[in-house]
Amino acid sequence: MKTPVNQGENIRSLRAETATSDFTAELLERDSKVFFHQTLSSPVFNAVTKAEGAYIYDGEGKQYLDLHGNGVHTVGYNNPKVVVAIQKQIADTLTFAPRRFTNLPAVELAEKLAAIAPAGLNRVLFCPGGSEAIEMATMMAKLVTGKWKTLSYYGSFHGAGFQAVSIGADGHFREGLGPMMPGAVHLELPDYYRNPWGWTDQQQIDDEYLRQLKTQIEYNPEIAALITEPIFYNSTVPTRYYWEQVQAMCKAQGILLIFDEIYTAFGRTGKMFAAEHFVTPDIIVIGKGFGGGIVPFAGIIGREDLNVLEHKSIGHYTHEKNPLCAAVSKAVIDFVESENLVAHAQELGQYFRSGLEELQQKFELIGNISGLGLNLAVDLVTDRQSKTRATEAAQQIMGFCMNRGISFKLIQGNILNLKPALVITKAEVDFVIETLREGFVQFSS
Ligand SMILES: Cc1ncc(COP(=O)(O)O)c(C=O)c1O
């Protein structure tokens, strides 16, 4: 059986939606000739020549409001304050710190994270990318607990490294690789909309998924950590009750709870960390927007009492304390704070959601809206009874929006994944809603 893929869209068909100049056509050709082809990245359908604020621009200068951004565009592309910080760091002639030397930007960043993270999380480690950060957290959990298995959710994605792919369970990234990391145990994602029992009562649904979790834990006493996004990749928002129960079960069995906030940290969900909506985990993993869309940087923030591995190396990365990356990340956090982006994401997220809910009243195609803050998803269905995924309409609407200058990706073929830069304005949200409305009028059967 082919395992389901959590990302699904027909990239090639988008080519038709975006006219390509000679410059772009030639660049696509060169790209296709020089990069190893792999699905979801090469060949591509268009080129980007500029990225600024909430927008990207293609080879013809056409602008797209970017509701995808691979999640790096939290403070907007080429954020002027972040650019100044990186320029200053270069001017200060401190762009790298060899191992055994610390440096001021790295220490200041670490202290800042400890100050803004949920209470009790006050030690950090940095590394180049999210996948590595997930693996650092996992190795830390294994070494601290003395156990070797992991628990995570089917369909999740936690990075492209081998351990991270093993922890994630999106079949697309695993098929054909043979045995993955031993001891990676998986669970079903709580699904309030399309669960197999057709239930709608949240507590009943939570209790059934919690029962499954309890069974896995009972049969796998060697589990060191439960690794999960606090809000799932399809923007499903588990209840606080669910996370409280999960945390209680984990605590009872000496399992560390690790929240992958690579996508959600730094305001996206209307809180600085999505964990603040639910419970404080043992470790939070950060990445993507942490590097301001300028440098790759990621890390973990964990409890003081996990600081017991001084005889081991769990994150022996060349760029572990890179001062340039640290200066960028500190500027990102400063910008989130000085511009009140957390409150902005909360308010504008609510406004965006209300606009989507109005559309839902008019268009049967919209089966479900999920998410929190500026982390929204719209599940399109052929009819609301069967909840069959409306993949064709979703593809058409994505193409229509792309044509009108809005870029987003589809998840599972039918879910519009709407994640703008947090600097997006109310007028830009109105533009998205209006464009979607036109798309729904055109492609609702
Ligand atoms: C939730 C989540 N975790 C981890 C990762 C991996 O991050 P990176 O690509 O920086 O390794 C991603 C990347 O898409 C992600 O979305």
**Residue 325 sits in the same domain as residue 345:** no
Query: Is residue 1 one of the residues assigned to a domain?
Result: no
Q: Are residues 242 and 132 in the same domain?
A: yes
Cα–ligand 1 centroid distance for 385 (angstroms): 34
Q: CATH no. for residue 362?
A: 3.90.1150.10
- Atom of ligand 1 at shortest distance to CA of 131? 11
User: Is residue 419 lining ligand 1, measured as CB closer than 6 Å?
Assistant: no
Is 129 inside any structural domain? yes
Q: Are residues 144 and 241 in the same domain?
A: yes
Question: Which of 290, 318, 338 is the C-terminal boundary of a domain?
Answer: 338
2 is a domain residue:
no
Establish whether residue 229 lines the binding site of ligand 1, counting it when its CB lies within 6 angstroms of any ligand atom. yes
137 and 92 within one domain: yes
Q: Where a domain ends, among 338, 354, 388?
A: 338
Rounded to an integer, what distance in angstroms lies between the CA atom of residue 8 and that of residue 383? 20
Quote the pLDDT of residue 20.
66
From residue 328, alpha-carbon distances to 19, 245, 278, 322 in Å are: 35, 37, 29, 10
> Is pLDDT of 6 > 80?
no
Residue 360 has pLDDT above 90, yes or no: yes
Q: Please indicate, yes or no, if residue 326 is contained in any of the structural domains.
A: yes
Segment 79-93, tens digit of pLDDT? 999 999 999 999 999
Over the stretch 226-242, which tens digit does the pLDDT of each residue have?
Answer: 999 999 999 999 999 99
Considering only CA atoms, which residue is closest to atom 15 of ligand 1?
A: 158
314 & 176 share domain:
yes
Whether residue 3 is contained in a domain is answered as no
Whether 128 and 29 share a structural domain: no
The number of folded domains in the chain is 2
What is the mean predicted confidence (pLDDT) over 369-396?
97
What integer pLDDT is reported at residue 75 of this predicted model? 98
Enter the tokens of residue 359. Answer: 């559309």
Kindly state whether residues 430 and 305 are assigned to the same domain: no
Q: Which band of pLDDT confidence, cut at 50, 70 and 90, is reported for residue 21?
A: confident
Nearest CA owner, ligand 1 atom 2: 158
* pLDDT bucket at 4, cuts 50 / 70 / 90: very low
The domain in which residue 435 lies consists of 11-75+341-443
* Domain shared by 94 and 67, yes or no: no
Predicted pLDDT at 9: 59
Query: Ligand 1 pocket check: which of 262, 264, 283 to mutate, most ligand atoms within 8 Å of Cβ?
Result: 262
Is residue 77 scored above 60 in pLDDT? yes
Cα-to-centroid distance, 59 and ligand 1 (Å) = 27
The mean pLDDT of the chain is 94
What pLDDT score was predicted for residue 42? 87
The finding on whether 157 has its CB within 6 A of some atom of ligand 1 is yes
Question: 318 falls in which pLDDT band (50, 70, 90)?
Answer: very high
- Please state the rounded mean pLDDT for residues 351-363: 98
pLDDT at residue 58 tops 50: yes
Distance 131 CA to ligand 1 centre (A): 6
Note whether 287 and 359 are same-domain residues.
no
Long-range contacts of 101-109 (CB under 8 A, 24+ apart): 102/321, 103/321, 103/323, 103/326, 104/323, 105/323, 105/324, 105/326, 105/327, 105/330, 106/321, 106/322, 106/323, 106/326, 108/326, 108/330, 109/326, 109/327, 109/329, 109/330, 109/333
Ligand 1 near 170 CB (within 6 A): no
- For residue 411, report the distance from its CA to the centre of ligand 1, in Å: 15
Q: Would residue 4 count as lying in a domain?
A: no
Q: Is the pLDDT of residue 33 over 70?
A: yes
**How confident is residue 126, by pLDDT bands cut at 50, 70 and 90?**
very high
Contact (CB, 8 A) for 46 and 428: no
What pLDDT was estimated at residue 163? 94
Nearest atom in ligand 1 to 159's CA: 6
Averaged pLDDT, 160-166: 95
Per-residue pLDDT, 10: 59
Distance 26 CA to ligand 1 centre (A): 30
Q: What is the pLDDT of residue 2?
A: 41
At residue 18, the pLDDT reads: 61
pLDDT over 90 (residue 399)? yes
Comparing 22-31, 247-256, 400-409, which segment has the lowest mean pLDDT? 22-31
Q: How confident is the model at residue 41 (pLDDT cuts 50, 70, 90)?
A: confident
For residues 34 and 178, membership in a common domain is answered with: no
CA of residue 288 to ligand 1 center, whole Å: 7
User: Which pLDDT does position 5 carry in this prediction?
Assistant: 44
394 pLDDT more than 50:
yes
- In the sheet that holds 298-303, the strands lie side by side as 121-127, 298-303, 283-286, 256-260, 223-228, 149-153, 184-187
Could you give the percent of the chain with pLDDT greater than 90? 90
pLDDT for 165-202, tens place per residue?
Answer: 999 987 788 888 889 999 999 999 999 999 999 999 99
CA–centroid distance, residue 162 to ligand 1 (Å): 13
Among the candidates 313, 338, 363, a domain finishes at 338
Q: How far is the CA of 153 from the centre of ligand 1 (A)?
A: 15
Based on the fold, state whether residues 221 and 93 are members of the same structural domain: yes
Q: Which of 149, 193, 131, 96 is nearest to 415 (CA)?
A: 193
User: Is residue 433 assigned to a domain?
Assistant: yes
Confidence of residue 19 (pLDDT cuts 50, 70, 90): low
Q: Which atom of ligand 1 is nearest to the CA of 296?
A: 10
Q: In the prediction, which pLDDT does 12 show?
A: 56
Q: Is residue 410 part of a domain?
A: yes
Range of weakest confidence among 169-183, 269-283, 424-438: 169-183
φ/ψ (deg, to 5) at 49: -115, -15
pLDDT of 152: 98
Residue 284: per-residue pLDDT = 99
Nearest atom in ligand 1 to the alpha carbon of residue 233 is: 1
Q: Is the CB of 130 under 6 A from ligand 1?
A: yes
Q: How much is the average pLDDT of 316-344?
A: 97
CATH classification of the domain holding 151: 3.40.640.10
pLDDT at 1: 35
The percent of residues in the chain predicted with pLDDT above 70, rounded, is 96
The answer to whether residues 185 and 324 belong to one domain is yes
- Residue 13 pLDDT class (50, 70, 90 cuts): low
**Please, what's the b/e burial string for 176-196 (b: 16 or more CB within 10 A of its CB; e: otherwise)?**
eeeebbebbbbbebbbbebbe
- d(CA 297, CA 67) in angstroms, rounded, equals 21
